[in-house]
């Protein structure tokens, strides 16, 4: 009876999950198909997907097994199939920490990152940087600098993000590539702008004056990318702790309250109320913005607002009192986290008069 | 109060996961070694997360010191995790991108069976959205473009002129080689 039930359940799952009950050893055996010439892209892609799936499920591979699979996988570079190639990149990234001698693919990846196919280039850069060590860094430096200023946003972003990861390999990577990052900062692409700002900040964060210069320039013309704007607000907050209000940083953050993107508006409001220095007058505009968010149809926005108000209530209960009515409505919110936060906030701000309601 | 100010860093996303309707992992990725270092801890967290979220369609929850935003469809649950101090709207934008990309890849047929059938492409898409905790791209259509769907899978009407030309070129090449 029990077995029957189980069968039925599997049937309901739609003829069984093709990836269920995969055996590690069987799949690794199948990986020998990679050595066949010519490569069968569909078949190999399917086997590679199985390996990636097993790794994703938390299956442990020994060094030997991983190395063997890795070397079999390198044979797939012969195929020009786009999906297969991309899966190989993914495989390189997943196995790079488990297998030995992974630098064997350096030349293949360098070739792909400097090739013509944009779809290969960005992904190849990211794969290459995961297998790069201190010694190899010099060899790829020239290509990386070029890639950062590439006109394809995918390539540029990939190079910028990878250089941040490479900080673990060599601390001064970001500083050495700062000129290129500076150029990428002018990109029209929102993500490239964001990543470039991240690299520039990483390069300059130990030098206060350089950060001041960077922020002063950027605050004049607010970044177009909402992600970059959020990052800039965070940098400005950090700077405020050191240099005070001399640079008009506060007014920049306040001006972000009037941006179009909700993400930036919330970031600015959050920053303003959390700057330890602000008095009730400074946080007024931020509180009104958060109050508006409290009645948003989006749960995430209500959550963000009430969570922030909850924290402000500890230091400035009087300023939050204005939101009490909205908070009371949130007590019955279908999201329990929001309701709980609303109640605890009201406990700090509420007066006797509201107890009855 | 200092702890509340966010450190300026691009490392925003702590993890992303796609679970099925039993709370089992289909795909999951954790980007911070300090958050659930072993797969046992990860799966325990996923079970817990699933139990807390599969009935309440509430979009956001705080769990184990992480802010988790989520979304579900038929028999799939999509999650994006970030630190409890992270800007929730940024996490939300990543979640929306993940969901919309998968939806576009599966041609609006967002369910477990379809995800498993296109698992390779979905893996590539997750890799294009977040790289080691940094948001790489948060625009679903650009993500889908980057994962290079097999052109022969797309019905002719939805292909761009360039794609049609490309596949025609390839077919011609092969017929000449034969």
Count of CB atoms situated within 10 Å of the CB of B48: 13
Mean pLDDT for A11-30 is 73
Q: What is the pLDDT of residues A310-332, one digit of tens each?
A: 888 888 888 888 888 888 888 88
> In terms of residues, how long is chain B?
178
Higher pLDDT residue, A131 or A13?
Answer: A131
At residue B178, the pLDDT reads: 52
* Cα three-residue angle B136-B140-B145, rounded to 5 degrees: 85
Q: Following CA atoms B23, B24, B29, B32 in sequence, which dihedral angle do they give, to the nearest 10 degrees?
A: 60
As a whole number of angstroms, the distance between CA A208 and CA A205 comes to 7
ipTM of the complex: 0.89
Instruction: Please give the full DSSP string across B58-116, using - where no structure is assigned.
Output: -SEEEETTEEEEEEEETTEEEEEEEETTS-HHHHHHHHHHHHHHHHHHTTT--SHHHHH
As a whole number of angstroms, the distance between CA A316 and CA A352 comes to 18
At residue A76, the pLDDT reads: 92
List the one residue out of A296, A312, A215, A219 whose CA is nearest residue A263.
A296
Residue A185 has pLDDT above 50, yes or no: yes
Picking from B10, B96, B97, B163 by the largest number of A CB atoms within 10 A of its own CB, the best residue to mutate is B10
Handedness of CA A342, A344, A346, A348 (dihedral sign): negative
Contacts of B169 in chain A (CB under 8 A): none
SS3 A252: helix
Q: What is the pLDDT of residues A330-342, one digit of tens each?
A: 888 888 889 889 9
As a whole number of angstroms, the distance between CA A144 and CA A140 comes to 6
H or E segment to which residue A130 belongs: helix A118-131
Residue A205 near residue A172 (C-beta atoms within 8 A): no
> B42 φ, ψ to 5°?
-60, -45
Give the pLDDT means over successive 10-residue stretches in chain B (178 positions).
66 94 92 90 94 85 92 92 92 95 90 91 94 94 80 50 66 63
Mean pLDDT for A174-199 is 92
Picking from B76, B80, B120 by the largest number of A CB atoms within 10 A of its own CB, the best residue to mutate is B120
What percent of chain A has pLDDT above 70? 91
Q: How confident is the model at residue A158 (pLDDT cuts 50, 70, 90)?
A: very high
Residue B23 near residue B47 (C-beta atoms within 8 A): yes
In chain A, the residue whose alpha carbon lies closest to the alpha carbon of B70 is A300
**B83, two tokens:** 């630190």
As a whole number of angstroms, the distance between CA B36 and CA B49 comes to 13
B131 vs A161: CB contact, 8 Å cut-off?
yes
Q: Following CA atoms A332, A333, A336, A338 in sequence, which dihedral angle do they give, to the nearest 10 degrees?
A: -110
Task: Choose the closest CB to B127 out of A82, A90, A275.
Answer: A90
What is the rounded average pLDDT for all residues in chain A?
86
In chain A, the residue whose alpha carbon lies closest to the alpha carbon of B25 is A57
> B27 φ, ψ to 5°?
-145, 145
Distances (CA, A) of B154 to B104, B106, B159: 11, 11, 6
Contacts of B88 in chain A (CB under 8 A): 266, 300-301, 303-304, 307
Contacts of B174 (CB under 8 A, 6+ apart): none
Judged by average pLDDT, the poorest of A104-108, A153-157, A328-332, A346-350 is A346-350
């Amino acid at each position: 009876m029990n077995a029957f039930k189980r069968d039925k359940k599997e049937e309901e799952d739609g003829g069984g999950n093709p990836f269920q009950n995969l055996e590690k050893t069987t799949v690794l055996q199948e990986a020998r198909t990679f050595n066949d010439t010519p490569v069968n892209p569909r078949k190999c892609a399917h086997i590679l997907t199985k390996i990636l799936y097993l790794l994703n499920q938390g299956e442990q591979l020994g060094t030997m097994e991983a190395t063997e699979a890795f070397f079999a996988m390198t044979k797939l570079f012969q195929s020009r199939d786009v999906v297969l190639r991309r899966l190989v990149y993914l495989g390189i990234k997943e196995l790079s920490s488990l297998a030995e001698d992974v630098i064997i693919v350096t030349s293949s990846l360098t070739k792909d990152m400097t090739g013509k196919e944009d779809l290969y280039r960005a992904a190849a850069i990211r794969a290459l940087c995961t297998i790069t060590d201190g010694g190899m860094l010099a060899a790829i430096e020239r290509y990386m600098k070029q890639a950062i200023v590439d006109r394809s946003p995918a390539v540029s972003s990939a190079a910028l993000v990878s250089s941040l990861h490479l900080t673990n390999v060599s601390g001064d990577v970001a500083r050495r590539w700062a000129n290129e990052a500076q150029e990428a900062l002018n990109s029209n692409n929102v993500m490239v702008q964001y990543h470039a700002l991240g690299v520039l900040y990483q390069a300059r964060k130990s030098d206060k004056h350089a950060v001041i210069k960077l922020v002063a320039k950027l605050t004049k013309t607010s970044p177009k990318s909402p992600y970059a704007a959020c990052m800039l607000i965070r940098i400005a907050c950090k700077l405020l702790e050191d240099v005070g209000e001399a640079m008009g940083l506060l007014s920049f953050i306040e001006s972000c309250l009037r941006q179009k993107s909700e993400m930036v508006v919330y970031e600015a409001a959050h920053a303003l109320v959390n700057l330890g220095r602000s008095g009730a007058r400074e946080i007024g505009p931020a509180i009104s913005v958060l109050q508006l968010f409290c009645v948003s149809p989006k749960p995430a926005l209500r959550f963000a607002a009430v969570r922030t108000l909850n924290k402000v209530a500890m230091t400035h209960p009087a300023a939050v009192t204005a939101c009490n009515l909205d908070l009371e409505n949130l007590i019955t919110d279908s999201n329990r986290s929001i309701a709980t936060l609303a109640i605890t906030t009201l406990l700090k701000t509420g007066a006797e008069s509201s107890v009855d309601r | 109060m200092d702890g509340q100010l966010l450190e300026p860093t691009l490392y925003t996303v702590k993890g992303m996961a796609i679970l099925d309707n039993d709370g089992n992992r289909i795909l999951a990725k954790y980007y911070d070694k300090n958050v659930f270092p072993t797969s046992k801890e990860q799966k325990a967290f996923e079970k817990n997360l699933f139990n807390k979220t599969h009935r309440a369609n509430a979009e956001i929850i705080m769990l184990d010191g992480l802010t988790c935003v989520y979304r579900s469809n038929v028999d799939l649950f999509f999650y994006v995790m970030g630190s409890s101090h992270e800007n929730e709207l940024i996490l939300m934008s990543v979640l929306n991108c993940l969901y919309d990309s998968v939806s576009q890849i599966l041609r609006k047929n967002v369910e477990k069976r379809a995800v498993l059938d296109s698992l390779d492409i979905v893996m590539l898409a997750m890799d294009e959205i977040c790289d080691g905790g940094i948001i790489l791209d948060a625009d679903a259509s650009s993500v889908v473009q980057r994962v290079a769907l097999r052109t022969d899978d797309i019905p002719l009407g939805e292909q761009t002129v360039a794609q049609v030309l490309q596949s025609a070129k390839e077919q011609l090449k092969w017929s000449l080689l034969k």
